[in-house]
Amino acid sequence: MANAWKIARKSNVQLPLILVVALAVVVVLLGKAQGTLFDRMRAHATDTMAPVLEKLRAPVAGFDRFFGSITEIFSVYEQNLKLKEENARLRQWRNVAIVLQGRVARYQTLLHAVPDPKLNAVLARVIGRANRPFLRTMILDAGRADHALPGQAVMDARGMIGRVFLAGQRTSWVILLTDLNSRVPVAIAPGNVQAMMTGDNSATPRLELVSRTVTLHAGDQVTSSGDGGLLPAGLPIGTVVADGEGWRVSLLADASASQDVEILNFSKPPEAPPSSAELPAEAAGLKPQVPLPPASAVMAQIPAPAKPKPATPIEAAPVGPASADEDEDR
Amino acid sequence: MVRLERAQAPRFRYLVAMIPMAAGLAGVAIANFPVSILGGLVPAPLFGLVPVYFWCLVRPDLMTPAVSFSIGFAEDILSGGPPGIWTLAFVLTYALVARQRESFAGLSGMAAVLGFAGAATFACAVAYFTVAGLNLLSGLRWPPLVPIISELMMTVAFYVPATLVVGWLHHKLIGASRSDV
């Protein structure tokens, strides 16, 4: 019988099994401590595979749609009736929303409210999906060359899908909201209840409420809270559904069917110093003891974000919140 | 016999020795190709484990610990999970199968499938408990059991067709003989 723990079976050049086991343990520990090493390899692998994936995308999507719709054939009539009813209801709500939007705009004008910052977005195509035991992800055809960076939110037309957690040059990996490692601070309306939405590989992520005293209701709206500054506030995520043990979120977006998504580039611009006229001393009618330099001179001293160079776009992209978020996901 | 003699010629020996590793890496690449079938309802099977199991029983001189390490490492890189878990799982499964080689190799028919199912269960258990340990170190919850059980069931379900391919490769390119090493 072969002795599995021998140094070699036929030659002396093979590694002993015990050494290979030890090496495997080292890889596990190294992966825990220095995950970016492996992330780089993964990003390089998908960058290399991207052209093949893009070519395979259309036939595979058609195949997937065909098989995915087989079970729905028998319920088409009921679904059609339900959709017509829902459509009529949504038309009513659309009219209400238009009226409310106009009212909000008038109030903002009256209050001189600061409008929400507009977000830059990169449109990307889903070129791959992976459903593994410890990771649910999708691969997009936009990477660092398109200013897609780790930490940025990924949306489809209905709502948030997940966040970029690994960006190669031409591709990026998205950690889905349903993934075990996903944690997103959310706000629940009405009442602006703060909670943490955590994925557990099921279709409906779990809600962990910050306060134990609040009461939720099925159908409450869940949006991103913007806490921590990693994601913008107000991104639509889903609705609250009751679970036997607590509350979960029924997501608006369908990650398994999304084909084109947006990667939101959320980075806060540097805050400009107030002009001298706005300082409290000026407002009180006093002159400042030290003459302040003009605001334009102060702004000139703030290093402006470098313009992206076509050849090396990585340095041009903001990485502050992204790297922290990447570490958080590990 | 001609094929076997050709395979044993010195100039082909190195190519033959690479077939198990190439088959394992191909299995990993196929399983981890990021294309979702059936809307991602089921995970892809661990195709890389089949060559490790097969050649560990049939030709352990070709499926060495280092080769199983490489196949597991490729699974880690392409699957995107916590690094190192499949490397450790594949190497420990290799150790188990190599130690019980005579028991596993004597199985046939449904018992052979059950033998592989035992090895795959061991691999999935190693991966699961490694991830659970890492999660506990980070203060996270235990990973859910359903995905890893789905992975195990898919791997066992695809064992027979995958073994047919691996067996065909073995007979055509390496030789029919079983190593007595």
Between CA B80 and CA B43 the distance in angstroms is 13
Between CA B69 and CA B75 the distance in angstroms is 10
Highest mean pLDDT among A4-13, A27-36, A268-277: A27-36
B34 to A200: CB separation less than 8 angstroms, yes or no: no
Query: CB-based contact (8 Å) between A242 and chain B?
Result: no
* Domain A116-265, CATH: 2.40.10.340
The one-letter amino acid at B87: T
A130 to B36: CB separation less than 8 angstroms, yes or no: yes
Between CA A57 and CA A51 the distance in angstroms is 10
Closest CA to A132 of B85, B88, B66: B85
- pLDDT, tens digit, for every residue of B139-166? 777 888 888 898 899 899 989 899 899 8
Tokens standing for B67? 């080769």
Between CA A35 and CA A27 the distance in angstroms is 10
Which pLDDT value is given to residue B93?
92
pLDDT averaged over every residue in chain A: 74
Could you give the C-alpha distances from A325 to A174, A320, B170, in angstroms and in order? 13, 9, 47
Query: CB-based contact (8 Å) between B10 and chain A?
Result: no
Answer left, alpha or beta for residue A174, where phi above 0 means left and psi between -120 and 50 means alpha. Answer: beta
Instruction: Tell me the pTM.
Output: 0.69
- pLDDT, tens digit, for every residue of B105-132? 777 778 888 989 999 999 999 999 998 8
In chain A, what are the domain boundaries? Answer: 116-265
∠ Cα A201 A177 A267 (to 5°)? 155
Query: CB-based contact (8 Å) between B16 and chain A?
Result: no
Which pLDDT value is given to residue A6?
44
Between CA A89 and CA A292 the distance in angstroms is 59
How far apart are the CA of B83 and the nearest CA of chain A, in angstroms?
5
**pLDDT(B169) > 90:** no
Between CA B114 and CA B107 the distance in angstroms is 9
Query: CB-based contact (8 Å) between A191 and chain B?
Result: no
Radius of gyration of chain A from Cα atoms?
26
Confidence band for A79, pLDDT divided at 50, 70 and 90: confident
B143 to A134: CB separation less than 8 angstroms, yes or no: yes
**pLDDT(A141) > 90:** no
Q: Which residues pair with A187 in a beta bridge?
A: A194, A223
In chain B, what are the domain boundaries? Answer: 2-174
Tokens standing for A139? 């691969």
Query: CB-based contact (8 Å) between B110 and chain A?
Result: no
The one-letter amino acid at B123: A
Tell me the average pLDDT across A237-265.
Answer: 84
Supply φ then ψ for residue A286, to 5 degrees: -100, 150
Are A189 and A225 in contact by the 8 Å Cβ rule? The answer is no
Are A222 and A193 in contact by the 8 Å Cβ rule? The answer is no
Query: CB-based contact (8 Å) between A71 and chain B?
Result: no
Confidence band for A225, pLDDT divided at 50, 70 and 90: confident
- The rounded Cα A232 to chain-centroid distance in angstroms is 10
The proportion of chain B whose per-residue pLDDT surpasses 70, expressed as a percent, equals 86
Closest CA to A27 of B60, B94, B75: B75
- pLDDT, tens digit, for every residue of A84-109? 999 999 999 888 998 998 898 888 88
**Which residues in B lie closer than 8 A to residue A50 (C-beta atoms)?**
none
Fold of B2-174: Arp2/3 complex 21 kDa subunit ARPC3 (1.10.1760)
Query: What is the ipTM metric for this complex?
Result: 0.82
